[in-house]
Amino acid sequence: MEYRECGASKLRLSVIGAGCWAFGGGEYWGDQNQKDVDAVVHASVEYGVNYFDTAEAYNGGRSEISLGQALQGIPRDKVVIGTKVSPPHCYAGTLEKYCEESLRRLQTDYIDLYMIHWPIHPHSVRHFTKDENVINNPPTITEAIEAMLRLQETGKIGRIGVSNYSDRRLSNDIPSSVNVAVNELPYNLLCRAIEYDTLPYCAGKGIGIIGYMTLLQGILAGIYPTLHDVPAWQRRTRHFNCEGTPLCRHGEKGFESETEQALAAIHKVALDSGMTMAKLSTKWVLANKNITCALIGARNVAELTENLATVSKPLDPSVVDQLNRITDEMKFRLGIHCDYYESAENDRTL
Protein backbone atom coordinates (compact mmCIF):
# COMPACT_ATOMS: atom_id res chain seq x y z
CA MET A 1 0.00 0.00 0.00
CA GLU A 2 1.16 3.50 -0.82
CA TYR A 3 0.58 6.33 1.66
CA ARG A 4 0.46 10.07 1.12
CA GLU A 5 0.43 12.99 3.54
CA CYS A 6 -2.41 15.50 3.58
CA GLY A 7 -0.49 18.63 2.77
CA ALA A 8 0.85 20.52 5.77
CA SER A 9 -1.18 18.54 8.33
CA LYS A 10 1.07 15.46 8.09
CA LEU A 11 -2.03 13.27 8.31
CA ARG A 12 -0.92 10.10 6.52
CA LEU A 13 -3.54 8.22 4.52
CA SER A 14 -3.53 5.13 2.32
CA VAL A 15 -4.01 6.15 -1.32
CA ILE A 16 -7.10 3.93 -1.44
CA GLY A 17 -9.62 4.75 1.26
CA ALA A 18 -12.74 2.86 2.27
CA GLY A 19 -15.89 4.71 1.27
CA CYS A 20 -18.44 3.59 3.86
CA TRP A 21 -21.65 5.20 2.57
CA ALA A 22 -23.29 1.81 1.85
CA PHE A 23 -22.52 0.47 5.34
CA GLY A 24 -25.67 -0.08 7.37
CA GLY A 25 -27.86 -0.31 4.27
CA GLY A 26 -30.35 2.24 3.01
CA GLU A 27 -32.49 3.46 0.16
CA TYR A 28 -29.57 4.74 -1.90
CA TRP A 29 -27.39 1.62 -2.03
CA GLY A 30 -29.79 -1.06 -0.84
CA ASP A 31 -29.23 -3.62 1.90
CA GLN A 32 -25.75 -4.29 3.26
CA ASN A 33 -24.94 -7.40 5.29
CA GLN A 34 -23.00 -6.57 8.47
CA LYS A 35 -20.95 -9.75 8.19
CA ASP A 36 -19.73 -8.54 4.79
CA VAL A 37 -18.93 -5.12 6.29
CA ASP A 38 -16.94 -6.77 9.08
CA ALA A 39 -15.01 -8.86 6.56
CA VAL A 40 -14.31 -5.86 4.28
CA VAL A 41 -13.08 -3.66 7.13
CA HIS A 42 -10.81 -6.32 8.62
CA ALA A 43 -9.42 -7.28 5.20
CA SER A 44 -8.87 -3.59 4.38
CA VAL A 45 -6.70 -3.15 7.47
CA GLU A 46 -4.77 -6.33 6.65
CA TYR A 47 -4.08 -4.97 3.14
CA GLY A 48 -2.87 -1.65 4.55
CA VAL A 49 -5.94 0.55 4.06
CA ASN A 50 -6.01 2.93 7.00
CA TYR A 51 -8.65 5.51 6.04
CA PHE A 52 -12.37 4.90 6.58
CA ASP A 53 -14.79 7.62 5.46
CA THR A 54 -18.36 8.05 6.68
CA ALA A 55 -20.83 10.78 7.72
CA GLU A 56 -23.66 11.25 10.18
CA ALA A 57 -26.01 11.72 7.20
CA TYR A 58 -25.16 8.38 5.56
CA ASN A 59 -28.16 6.09 5.98
CA GLY A 60 -29.42 8.09 8.93
CA GLY A 61 -26.36 7.31 11.07
CA ARG A 62 -26.38 3.58 10.29
CA SER A 63 -23.13 3.87 8.33
CA GLU A 64 -21.32 5.12 11.43
CA ILE A 65 -22.93 2.39 13.56
CA SER A 66 -21.94 -0.31 11.07
CA LEU A 67 -18.36 0.97 10.77
CA GLY A 68 -18.07 1.21 14.55
CA GLN A 69 -19.15 -2.40 14.93
CA ALA A 70 -16.76 -3.58 12.20
CA LEU A 71 -13.78 -1.81 13.80
CA GLN A 72 -14.14 -3.66 17.09
CA GLY A 73 -11.06 -5.74 17.79
CA ILE A 74 -8.86 -3.67 15.46
CA PRO A 75 -6.15 -1.59 17.23
CA ARG A 76 -7.33 2.03 17.13
CA ASP A 77 -3.95 3.32 15.94
CA LYS A 78 -4.26 1.18 12.80
CA VAL A 79 -7.13 3.24 11.40
CA VAL A 80 -7.94 6.85 10.57
CA ILE A 81 -11.66 7.57 10.93
CA GLY A 82 -13.17 10.45 9.01
CA THR A 83 -16.78 11.56 9.45
CA LYS A 84 -18.82 14.64 8.59
CA VAL A 85 -21.24 16.92 10.37
CA SER A 86 -24.22 18.23 8.37
CA PRO A 87 -24.49 22.01 7.79
CA PRO A 88 -27.68 22.56 9.87
CA HIS A 89 -25.97 20.94 12.86
CA CYS A 90 -23.12 23.47 12.95
CA TYR A 91 -24.55 25.95 15.48
CA ALA A 92 -22.42 26.65 18.54
CA GLY A 93 -23.38 24.16 21.22
CA THR A 94 -25.25 21.99 18.72
CA LEU A 95 -22.21 20.85 16.73
CA GLU A 96 -20.58 19.47 19.87
CA LYS A 97 -23.71 17.40 20.61
CA TYR A 98 -23.73 15.88 17.14
CA CYS A 99 -20.03 15.10 17.40
CA GLU A 100 -20.73 13.21 20.63
CA GLU A 101 -23.45 11.24 18.84
CA SER A 102 -21.03 10.31 16.07
CA LEU A 103 -18.47 9.23 18.66
CA ARG A 104 -21.09 7.01 20.31
CA ARG A 105 -22.16 5.42 17.01
CA LEU A 106 -18.55 4.84 15.99
CA GLN A 107 -17.71 3.41 19.44
CA THR A 108 -14.56 5.50 19.69
CA ASP A 109 -13.16 8.18 21.99
CA TYR A 110 -11.96 10.44 19.19
CA ILE A 111 -12.48 11.15 15.48
CA ASP A 112 -9.27 11.58 13.50
CA LEU A 113 -10.78 13.83 10.81
CA TYR A 114 -14.00 15.78 11.40
CA MET A 115 -15.40 17.56 8.35
CA ILE A 116 -18.17 20.04 7.56
CA HIS A 117 -20.11 18.09 4.93
CA TRP A 118 -21.10 21.00 2.64
CA PRO A 119 -20.64 24.78 2.70
CA ILE A 120 -23.00 26.46 5.16
CA HIS A 121 -25.61 28.60 3.43
CA PRO A 122 -29.42 28.41 2.99
CA HIS A 123 -29.40 26.49 -0.31
CA SER A 124 -27.01 23.88 1.05
CA VAL A 125 -28.80 23.60 4.41
CA ARG A 126 -32.10 22.97 2.61
CA HIS A 127 -30.84 19.57 1.48
CA PHE A 128 -30.54 18.42 5.09
CA THR A 129 -33.62 19.88 6.79
CA LYS A 130 -37.15 21.13 6.12
CA ASP A 131 -37.05 23.51 9.09
CA GLU A 132 -37.52 26.93 7.46
CA ASN A 133 -36.15 28.72 10.53
CA VAL A 134 -32.86 26.84 10.18
CA ILE A 135 -32.82 27.33 6.41
CA ASN A 136 -33.35 31.08 6.70
CA ASN A 137 -31.02 31.47 9.70
CA PRO A 138 -28.25 28.94 9.14
CA PRO A 139 -25.23 28.57 11.40
CA THR A 140 -22.22 30.72 10.61
CA ILE A 141 -18.94 29.22 9.53
CA THR A 142 -17.33 31.15 12.39
CA GLU A 143 -19.31 29.38 15.11
CA ALA A 144 -18.80 26.03 13.36
CA ILE A 145 -15.03 26.45 13.25
CA GLU A 146 -14.88 27.72 16.84
CA ALA A 147 -16.85 24.65 17.98
CA MET A 148 -14.50 22.35 16.07
CA LEU A 149 -11.48 24.05 17.62
CA ARG A 150 -12.95 23.44 21.07
CA LEU A 151 -13.46 19.77 20.21
CA GLN A 152 -9.88 19.65 18.99
CA GLU A 153 -8.61 21.13 22.25
CA THR A 154 -10.45 18.46 24.27
CA GLY A 155 -9.11 15.65 22.09
CA LYS A 156 -12.53 14.66 20.73
CA ILE A 157 -11.32 15.30 17.17
CA GLY A 158 -7.85 15.20 15.70
CA ARG A 159 -7.94 17.38 12.60
CA ILE A 160 -10.44 19.75 11.03
CA GLY A 161 -11.60 19.24 7.46
CA VAL A 162 -14.23 20.33 4.98
CA SER A 163 -16.04 18.62 2.15
CA ASN A 164 -17.29 20.08 -1.15
CA TYR A 165 -15.59 23.45 -0.67
CA SER A 166 -14.47 25.27 -3.82
CA ASP A 167 -11.43 27.50 -3.71
CA ARG A 168 -13.77 30.50 -3.44
CA ARG A 169 -15.50 29.07 -0.36
CA LEU A 170 -12.20 28.16 1.24
CA SER A 171 -10.69 31.60 0.71
CA ASN A 172 -13.85 33.53 1.67
CA ASP A 173 -15.23 31.38 4.50
CA ILE A 174 -12.31 29.82 6.36
CA PRO A 175 -10.06 32.10 8.46
CA SER A 176 -6.41 31.86 7.40
CA SER A 177 -5.45 31.01 10.98
CA VAL A 178 -7.41 27.72 10.85
CA ASN A 179 -5.45 24.67 9.76
CA VAL A 180 -7.74 22.78 7.38
CA ALA A 181 -6.21 19.34 6.88
CA VAL A 182 -8.46 18.01 4.13
CA ASN A 183 -10.99 19.02 1.50
CA GLU A 184 -13.08 16.06 0.29
CA LEU A 185 -14.18 16.52 -3.31
CA PRO A 186 -15.63 14.57 -6.27
CA TYR A 187 -12.91 13.53 -8.70
CA ASN A 188 -12.82 11.05 -11.54
CA LEU A 189 -12.33 10.89 -15.30
CA LEU A 190 -15.75 12.41 -15.96
CA CYS A 191 -15.75 14.86 -13.02
CA ARG A 192 -12.65 17.02 -13.35
CA ALA A 193 -13.93 20.45 -12.23
CA ILE A 194 -11.51 20.68 -9.30
CA GLU A 195 -8.60 20.81 -11.76
CA TYR A 196 -9.53 24.37 -12.79
CA ASP A 197 -9.05 26.25 -9.50
CA THR A 198 -9.78 24.24 -6.36
CA LEU A 199 -7.10 21.58 -6.68
CA PRO A 200 -4.29 24.11 -7.35
CA TYR A 201 -5.56 26.28 -4.48
CA CYS A 202 -5.54 23.36 -2.03
CA ALA A 203 -2.10 22.26 -3.18
CA GLY A 204 -0.77 25.77 -2.66
CA LYS A 205 -2.29 26.03 0.82
CA GLY A 206 -1.11 22.60 1.97
CA ILE A 207 -4.63 21.14 2.13
CA GLY A 208 -4.91 17.45 1.33
CA ILE A 209 -7.59 16.26 -1.09
CA ILE A 210 -9.66 13.14 -0.56
CA GLY A 211 -11.38 12.24 -3.80
CA TYR A 212 -14.83 10.68 -3.76
CA MET A 213 -16.93 9.21 -6.61
CA THR A 214 -13.70 7.66 -7.92
CA LEU A 215 -15.76 5.34 -10.15
CA LEU A 216 -18.71 7.74 -10.54
CA GLN A 217 -20.88 5.40 -8.47
CA GLY A 218 -20.23 2.42 -10.70
CA ILE A 219 -20.47 4.12 -14.10
CA LEU A 220 -16.68 4.09 -14.55
CA ALA A 221 -16.54 0.50 -13.32
CA GLY A 222 -18.14 -0.64 -16.56
CA ILE A 223 -20.97 -2.47 -14.79
CA TYR A 224 -23.76 -0.81 -16.79
CA PRO A 225 -24.10 -1.80 -20.50
CA THR A 226 -25.66 1.59 -21.36
CA LEU A 227 -26.50 4.81 -19.55
CA HIS A 228 -30.16 3.75 -19.56
CA ASP A 229 -29.21 0.84 -17.30
CA VAL A 230 -27.87 3.15 -14.58
CA PRO A 231 -30.22 3.08 -11.54
CA ALA A 232 -32.30 6.17 -10.76
CA TRP A 233 -30.31 7.22 -7.68
CA GLN A 234 -27.10 7.21 -9.72
CA ARG A 235 -28.67 9.10 -12.65
CA ARG A 236 -28.87 12.42 -10.82
CA THR A 237 -25.60 14.06 -11.87
CA ARG A 238 -25.28 16.73 -14.55
CA HIS A 239 -24.10 14.07 -17.00
CA PHE A 240 -27.73 12.97 -17.35
CA ASN A 241 -30.80 14.64 -18.78
CA CYS A 242 -33.04 15.55 -15.85
CA GLU A 243 -36.20 15.15 -17.92
CA GLY A 244 -37.93 11.90 -17.03
CA THR A 245 -35.68 11.29 -14.03
CA PRO A 246 -37.80 12.12 -10.95
CA LEU A 247 -34.92 11.96 -8.44
CA CYS A 248 -32.82 14.41 -10.47
CA ARG A 249 -32.92 18.07 -9.38
CA HIS A 250 -30.39 19.98 -11.52
CA GLY A 251 -33.00 20.64 -14.23
CA GLU A 252 -30.49 20.62 -17.11
CA LYS A 253 -30.49 18.61 -20.33
CA GLY A 254 -27.23 16.95 -19.41
CA PHE A 255 -24.48 15.61 -21.66
CA GLU A 256 -25.50 12.03 -22.27
CA SER A 257 -24.12 11.65 -25.79
CA GLU A 258 -20.77 13.16 -24.73
CA THR A 259 -20.70 10.90 -21.67
CA GLU A 260 -21.39 7.82 -23.81
CA GLN A 261 -18.61 8.78 -26.24
CA ALA A 262 -16.14 9.30 -23.42
CA LEU A 263 -17.06 6.00 -21.78
CA ALA A 264 -16.65 4.14 -25.06
CA ALA A 265 -13.20 5.66 -25.55
CA ILE A 266 -12.18 4.87 -21.95
CA HIS A 267 -13.37 1.30 -22.43
CA LYS A 268 -11.19 0.95 -25.53
CA VAL A 269 -8.13 2.22 -23.65
CA ALA A 270 -8.87 -0.28 -20.88
CA LEU A 271 -9.05 -3.15 -23.40
CA ASP A 272 -5.85 -2.04 -25.13
CA SER A 273 -4.12 -1.83 -21.72
CA GLY A 274 -5.39 -5.18 -20.52
CA MET A 275 -7.24 -3.65 -17.56
CA THR A 276 -10.79 -3.35 -16.36
CA MET A 277 -12.37 0.09 -16.64
CA ALA A 278 -12.46 0.28 -12.85
CA LYS A 279 -8.76 -0.40 -12.52
CA LEU A 280 -7.84 2.04 -15.28
CA SER A 281 -10.11 4.78 -13.88
CA THR A 282 -8.71 4.42 -10.37
CA LYS A 283 -5.12 4.42 -11.58
CA TRP A 284 -5.83 7.64 -13.45
CA VAL A 285 -7.00 9.31 -10.22
CA LEU A 286 -3.97 8.07 -8.30
CA ALA A 287 -1.66 9.39 -11.02
CA ASN A 288 -2.49 12.88 -9.74
CA LYS A 289 -0.08 13.35 -6.85
CA ASN A 290 -2.23 16.16 -5.42
CA ILE A 291 -4.88 13.56 -4.57
CA THR A 292 -4.03 12.22 -1.14
CA CYS A 293 -6.60 9.44 -1.06
CA ALA A 294 -9.21 8.05 -3.47
CA LEU A 295 -12.35 6.62 -1.89
CA ILE A 296 -13.84 3.41 -3.24
CA GLY A 297 -16.70 1.42 -1.78
CA ALA A 298 -16.60 -2.37 -1.54
CA ARG A 299 -19.62 -4.53 -0.73
CA ASN A 300 -17.55 -7.66 -0.14
CA VAL A 301 -13.94 -8.84 0.07
CA ALA A 302 -13.85 -9.85 -3.61
CA GLU A 303 -14.65 -6.27 -4.65
CA LEU A 304 -12.11 -4.94 -2.17
CA THR A 305 -9.35 -7.16 -3.56
CA GLU A 306 -10.09 -5.95 -7.08
CA ASN A 307 -10.03 -2.32 -5.92
CA LEU A 308 -6.68 -2.70 -4.19
CA ALA A 309 -5.03 -4.23 -7.25
CA THR A 310 -4.88 -0.71 -8.70
CA VAL A 311 -2.05 0.24 -6.34
CA SER A 312 0.44 -2.32 -7.64
CA LYS A 313 1.76 -0.40 -10.65
CA PRO A 314 1.36 3.28 -11.63
CA LEU A 315 -0.33 4.16 -14.89
CA ASP A 316 2.03 5.00 -17.74
CA PRO A 317 2.16 8.81 -18.24
CA SER A 318 1.28 8.38 -21.93
CA VAL A 319 -1.95 6.61 -20.95
CA VAL A 320 -2.72 9.38 -18.45
CA ASP A 321 -2.32 11.93 -21.24
CA GLN A 322 -4.51 9.85 -23.54
CA LEU A 323 -7.29 9.66 -20.95
CA ASN A 324 -7.01 13.40 -20.32
CA ARG A 325 -7.54 14.10 -24.03
CA ILE A 326 -10.49 11.71 -24.15
CA THR A 327 -12.26 13.46 -21.28
CA ASP A 328 -11.21 17.07 -21.93
CA GLU A 329 -14.51 17.75 -23.74
CA MET A 330 -16.52 16.62 -20.69
CA LYS A 331 -14.32 18.74 -18.44
CA PHE A 332 -14.96 21.77 -20.64
CA ARG A 333 -18.73 21.22 -20.89
CA LEU A 334 -19.28 20.65 -17.17
CA GLY A 335 -17.07 23.64 -16.32
CA ILE A 336 -15.80 24.76 -12.92
CA HIS A 337 -18.80 23.45 -10.99
CA CYS A 338 -17.85 20.87 -8.35
CA ASP A 339 -21.49 20.20 -7.40
CA TYR A 340 -22.63 17.58 -9.91
CA TYR A 341 -26.14 17.29 -8.45
CA GLU A 342 -27.25 20.89 -8.88
CA SER A 343 -27.41 23.12 -11.92
CA ALA A 344 -24.45 25.34 -12.73
CA GLU A 345 -26.52 28.27 -11.45
CA ASN A 346 -27.29 26.59 -8.11
CA ASP A 347 -23.86 25.07 -7.43
CA ARG A 348 -23.63 24.66 -3.65
CA THR A 349 -19.84 24.73 -3.63
CA LEU A 350 -19.51 28.28 -5.00
- Per the domain annotation, does 37 fall within a domain? yes
- Per the domain annotation, does 10 fall within a domain? yes
pLDDT exceeds 90 at position 244: no
Q: What is the CA radius of gyration of the chain?
A: 19
* Alpha carbons 320 and 196: distance in angstroms, whole number: 17
pLDDT for the residue 245? 83
Mind listing the pLDDT tens digit for each residue in 334-343?
999 999 999 9
5 or 312, which is more confident: 5
Domain hosting 64: range is 3-225+276-313
pLDDT mean across residues, the chain? 96
pLDDT exceeds 90 at position 182: yes
CB 201 within 8 A of CB 193: no
Percent residues over pLDDT 70 in the chain = 100
pTM above 0.85, yes or no: yes
* Alpha carbons 82 and 70: distance in angstroms, whole number: 15
Task: Name the pLDDT band for 239 (thresholds 50, 70, 90).
Answer: very high
* Alpha carbons 148 and 331: distance in angstroms, whole number: 35
pLDDT for the residue 12? 97
- The mean per-residue pLDDT over the stretch 200-214 comes to 97
Task: Name the pLDDT band for 344 (thresholds 50, 70, 90).
Answer: very high
pLDDT for the residue 42? 97
- The mean per-residue pLDDT over the stretch 132-141 comes to 96
Mind listing the pLDDT tens digit for each residue in 42-96?
999 999 999 999 999 999 999 999 999 999 999 999 999 999 999 999 999 999 9
- Per the domain annotation, does 328 fall within a domain? no
- The mean per-residue pLDDT over the stretch 22-40 comes to 94
- Per the domain annotation, does 249 fall within a domain? no
CB 66 within 8 A of CB 37: yes
- Per the domain annotation, does 321 fall within a domain? no
Helix ranges (H only) for the chain are 34-47, 62-70, 94-106, 122-125, 132-136, 141-153, 167-173, 198-205, 256-273, 277-286, 301-308, 317-334
> What does DSSP say about strands 16-19 and 12-14: parallel, antiparallel, or unpaired?
unpaired
- The mean per-residue pLDDT over the stretch 138-153 comes to 97
- Per the domain annotation, does 299 fall within a domain? yes
pLDDT for the residue 188? 98
For the chain, how many structural domains are there in total? 1
- CATH number of 124's domain: 3.20.20.100
- The mean per-residue pLDDT over the stretch 206-224 comes to 95
pLDDT exceeds 90 at position 7: no
- Per the domain annotation, does 230 fall within a domain? no
Mind listing the pLDDT tens digit for each residue in 281-319?
999 999 999 999 999 999 999 999 999 988 889 999 999
- Per the domain annotation, does 293 fall within a domain? yes
